[in-house]
Amino acid sequence: MTAEDFQNGQILLIDKPLQWTSFQAVNKMKWVLKSKLGLKKIKIGHAGTLDPLASGLLLVCTGKFTKIISELQGQPKEYTGTFYLGATTPSYDLETSIDKTFPVSHINDLLLYNTTKQFLGEIDQIPPIFSAIKKEGIRLYEHARAGEFVEIASRKTTIYEFEITRVAIHEIDFRVVCSKGTYIRSLAYDFGKALESGSHLIALRRTKIGNYHVNDAMDVTLFEDSVAPNSTSD
């Protein structure tokens, strides 16, 4: 594609690697477009943040297509991943260490199946304290890292599909289709409570946004290789 193609607007499907922030991925792509195509400026943004500990589909819009980012953000999203049963962490994932442990001997396949049904439809969900949501101008994770207590209001979210795809002793794999604003980390925590145990997220991958699938996405480094240098400038 040419510089003009990117300026007119593209929706790029990127498979964000682990440990990268969504901002880093977009910033890398912006640098590639500017340096390889000789652009002085280019509008570019993503349609939905992924945590550094999550991999998977990131929709990146360029040029005039940045105007439809909010529309893309509103599309249902599909995730796959793994919950670890019998323990919780303050961040609800692997960012922090285990703080409490719980029994799991009473958990069986039937209980897991019945518990997933409790979360289908519209639910009230409290975002994790380790999140980028702002309260009084300060991000929640900053309060958390400072050891400060913050009261967080619940939010409405919708779980369209929730299935368990593998069961081990402490680990369960899942697939979830949900609305915008759903925190899978909070789902892991609430799922553990509903089982009268504990749970935290140990793996997460976003596989779909609307009709866009991660199978059609490319790695950031492959994107860099795919952009051919030219002298077009803006």
Among the listed residues 5, 15, 51, 99, the single catalytic one is: 51
In the predicted model, residues of the chain with pLDDT beneath 70 are 130-151, 231-234
Tell me how far apart the terminal alpha carbons of the chain are, to the nearest angstrom: 15
Task: Give the model's pLDDT for residue 234.
Answer: 41
Task: Give the model's pLDDT for residue 160.
Answer: 98
Task: Give the model's pLDDT for residue 137.
Answer: 63
Q: How far apart are CA 212 and CA 61, in angstroms?
A: 13
Q: How far apart are CA 197 and CA 66, in angstroms?
A: 43
Helices (H), the chain: 3-8, 22-37, 69-73, 109-118, 140-145, 184-194, 220-226
Please indicate whether residue 93 is annotated as part of the active site: no
Provide CB contacts within 8 A for 211, sequence distance 6+.
none
* Residue found under tokens 């979210």: 157
pTM score, two decimals?
0.90
Q: How far apart are CA 94 and CA 22, in angstroms?
A: 18
Task: Give the model's pLDDT for residue 214.
Answer: 97
